[in-house]
A = this chain, B = another copy of it.
Amino acid sequence: MPLTPDAKGVFPIAPTPFLDDGSIDTASIDRLTDFYLECGSTGITVLGQLGEAPKLEHAESVDVAARMIQRAGKLPVVVGVSAPGFAAMRALTREVMDRGAAGVMIAPPNTLRTDDQIVGYYRQAVEAIGDDVPFVIQDYPLTFSVQMTPGVIRRIVTELPSCAMLKHEDWPGLEKISTLRGFEKDGSMRHISILCGNNGLFLDYEVERGADGANTGYCFPDMLCDVVRLNAAGEREAAHDLFDAHLPLLRYEQQPGAGLAVRKYVMMRRGLLTSAAQRKPAAVMSATARAEVDHLLRRLARHDPRAALE
């Protein structure tokens, strides 16, 4: 079941679970996958930017993706295959597609500057992986330093029919969604799925602007599912109320570099991960930071009982 431009809902970005000794925690992979299914996710993305992919040996990457694909059953699983060279990208793509992946996600290398370089890169990537593999553009200038205008995205979407989705995490990004949906309306660009990342920091208004949902790793993916669902159901203020209750923690988790430790810590406290361990090199969470997250959870629990973890 390949990824299509009609994808909607929430594709959580899955962290890669490790045990304290650094080995891959397969039990947590299964538990996490089951949780994503139960809370209403419509897909999963694995080995993304915060999936610690560069810390995995090639065979481990394939194993992690394959296990999640199998466990997820009918849910489409997208696999991050960004790599410094097209040889590694092609190799990983082939192996995960053979194991049932729905598509792959490709981030631009941080050396790209001009519009032509960006479009050219995606063209070459598709040549490498094959034009039968659905792919996701990852548009995350904060991390990748690559700035794609709406016009550049339109060029990629138009030139490359296998582009199925935009993982939108530009910042600011609200007008970009409106512009892209405007391109669809005026007939200058075909429809693609737009799911939003950047930890969901603007998800409340992104869905109102026309985004199809979320594609990010916030430690309460169930909240993301609820917000998308409430918005779709026309319950605007309820969606904002829930989102706003989570915003203090969500913002805390969104800190670059430091955020993954927060995410894994909360997911461990929620019983989703056995351990909050990251493979080295890893940002360490101080005792003060842990106390701050505990404080944020206690405050959140007044509004959302799922945060009552004691």
Contacts and interface: CB of A to CB of B under 8 A. Distances in A.
Interface SS of chain A? helix
A257 B115 CA distance: 18
Contacts of A281: 86, 120, 124
Contacts of A58: 58, 88, 91
A253 B148 CA distance: 22
Specify which of A56, A151, A178, A292 lies most central, judged by the most chain B CB atoms within 10 Å of its CB: A292
A187 interface: no
A210 to B, nearest CB: 11
A255 B147 contact: no
Interface in A254-291: 255-259, 280-281, 286, 288-289
Interface string A84-95: 111110010000
Nearest to A152: B114
Interface in A156-199: 171-172, 174-175, 178
A131 interface: no
A258 B172 contact: yes
Nearest to A204: B248
Interface residues of A, number: 60
A149 interface: yes
Contact of A289 (B110, B111, B175, B292): B175
* Identical copies in the complex: 4
A130 interface: no
Interface string A52-83: 01111110100000000000000000000001
Contact of A85 (B53, B85, B116, B148): B53
Contact of A209 (B116, B152, B288): B288
Interface in A109-144: 110-111, 113-117, 120, 124, 127
30 contacts: A54-B86, A55-B85, A57-B87, A57-B88, A58-B88, A60-B87, A86-B281, A113-B113, A114-B148, A114-B149, A116-B149, A124-B280, A124-B281, A127-B280, A172-B256, A172-B257, A172-B258, A175-B258, A175-B286, A178-B286, A202-B251, A204-B248, A205-B292, A237-B299, A243-B248, A244-B244, A244-B248, A247-B247, A247-B248, A251-B251
Interface of A: 53-58, 60, 83-88, 91, 110-111, 113-117, 120, 124, 127, 147-149, 151-152, 171-172, 174-175, 178, 201-202, 204-205, 208-209, 237, 240, 243-244, 247-248, 251-252, 255-259, 280-281, 286, 288-289, 292, 299
